[in-house]
Amino acid sequence: MARIGDRLEGLGTLHRGSEPLGMIEYIVYLSPATGQARVVRFATKPDARDGQLLHLELDDGRVVNCLVLADSRFCAVIGEGPIQERRRVIRTSTSPPSSPPR
């Protein structure tokens, strides 16, 4: 993923509910003031109807929830999900170390 000014570009995975729609190139336009995602433009029109909710997993693991706008390649961002946790075990300050210190 590349951040270019107020936008993110990359190749992500698109879902409609639990149904995967495949990989798609995207540009996420960010608010200059807050850095929050506002609009997504896809390289091709997604296989979805006006008003449907889609979930775009960015190539860094973040999830953007977006609403299909009419018959276009644009979606309005209605929420961002958490960054996908990639660690196998999440440590807390009270968790014992996984191996004895050397």
pLDDT tens profile 31-76: 888 888 899 999 999 989 999 999 999 988 889 999 999 989 999 9
Least confident of 3-12, 58-67, 79-88: 79-88
Domain coordinates in residue numbering, the chain: 2-80
3-state SS, one letter per residue, for 8-76: EEEEEEEEECCEEEEEEEEEEEECCCCCCEEEEEECCCCCCCCCCEEEEECCCCCEEEEEECCCCCEEE
